[in-house]
Structure 1
Amino acid sequence: MILNAIAEKLKRQSKDDFKGRYRDLEEMFKERGFEVDHSSVNRWVLAYAPMIEKRLRQFRRPHCGSIRVDETYVKIRGQWRHLYRAIDKHGNPVDFLLTAKRDLDAAKRFFRKMLKDEPLLSPGKIGTDGANT
């Protein structure tokens, strides 16, 4: 039941993000002699995007021993979203998380996401901007 709800949410988001682009891919396949429906391409994106992201994470460069974490608000399609991000001392992004709410659960989710795949690359120190808000 929970997985169905997540799948439905991803479908709604993907429709907005890629509106009209799946039909372009359908036409490109047709030009090359393949019959593919644009809804199949949408299902491929929903199925394989998380796997691709997981594999690309393996190629992250190791960061130096410390990282800086900050948080800010950004406006996306007319709605304010909360952005958590971590960068190394050279200014290279380590990871980020975009959420609708700024709360403890979102912060924990960001740190879990940032540290889960590569425990050996975990930073020795994590610095913040020092704001108490």
Structure 2
Amino acid sequence: MLWVVCWYPQSPISYRDLELMLRDRGLSVNHTTDHRWIQAYAPELEKRVRPHLRLTNGSWRVDETYLKVKARWIYLYRAVDSRGRTIDFRLSAPRDTAAAKRLFRKAFAQSNTVNPRTITVDKKVAYPKAVADMKQDKRLWRFSKLRQIKYLNNIVEQDHRRVERLVRPSLGFKRLRTAWNILVGYKTLAMMRKGQVKGIGGDDIVAQAAFVDALFDPAA
């Protein structure tokens, strides 16, 4: 089960592909069961991985891309640091100041983040208002600098492409909750591949698998 939960979110494959891969290994698991495992355990995996992440730095890059959920465009807000390490992410139907503020509040609540020195965004008008409101509410450091420089956001743009590559085989999402749980799996495995887990290299697949096993082992 953990193999399914870790393999699907990092590879551009469908649930039917995953069913065939398991059958090749002598396991008969229906693709709908694979889907239920992802829905149940991907959020739990993120919850258990978060306390083991390295600190991100104070130079944030924030942007959003869009995904289709039941024929409706939904926005995926994302923040990474200057090294490309994932800070946080959030799905939102509206694309406005309130959505940007919700991303910031969620990111500030994580144990591996620091109050940013700089926040780099594109030219959308929602971000200056969100940053000003967060400073007024004393949720954001008052000396944090907002930079609206599009080319400096190439790091987060590259991360968008990774998500789009993984989403394509799924042929879209049917429900917002389903989309969120799968995206949590994508992002959690991406954080591990980026070397964000303390003491484990981003290319050390064996150590990462052992780490995940230990997270779910009641005797560990």
TM-score of the aligned structures, taking structure 1 as reference length: 0.58
Percent identity for Structure 1 against Structure 2: 38
Aligned-partner SS, 2:26:
coil
For residues 54-111 of structure 1, give each alpha carbon's deviation from its aligned partner in whole angstroms, at most 9, with x where no partner exists. Answer: 23333432133x3335345x45569765453434355544233343321243223212
Q: Does structure 2 conserve the Cα–Cα contact (< 8 Å) formed by 1:71 and 1:82?
A: no
Q: How does 1:1-133 map to 2 (within 5 A)?
A: 21-64=14-57, 66-72=58-64, 74=65, 76=67, 82-90=75-83, 92-118=85-111, 121-123=113-115, 125=117, 127=119, 133=125
Change in 2 beyond 3 A, CA 1:126/1:36: same
Contact 1:29 1:36 in 2 (8 A): yes
- Structure with the higher helix share, 1 or 2: 2
Q: Are the counterparts in 2 of residues 82 and 98 from structure 1 also a CA contact under 8 Å?
A: yes
When residues 40 and 89 of structure 1 are mapped into structure 2, their CA distance, relative to the original with a 3 A threshold, is closer
Q: What is the TM-score normalised by the length of structure 2?
A: 0.39
Q: Which runs of 5+ in 2 are unaligned?
A: 1-10, 126-220
- Report how many residues are paired: 112
Distance 1:125 1:29, change over 3 A: same
Q: Secondary structure at the match of 2:90?
A: strand
| Counterpart-to-counterpart distance in 2, 1:88 and 1:43 | 32
Deviations 1:38-67 (A, max 9, x none): 111110011011112223333432133x33
The whole-number CA distance in structure 2 between the counterparts of 1:22 and 1:130 is 36
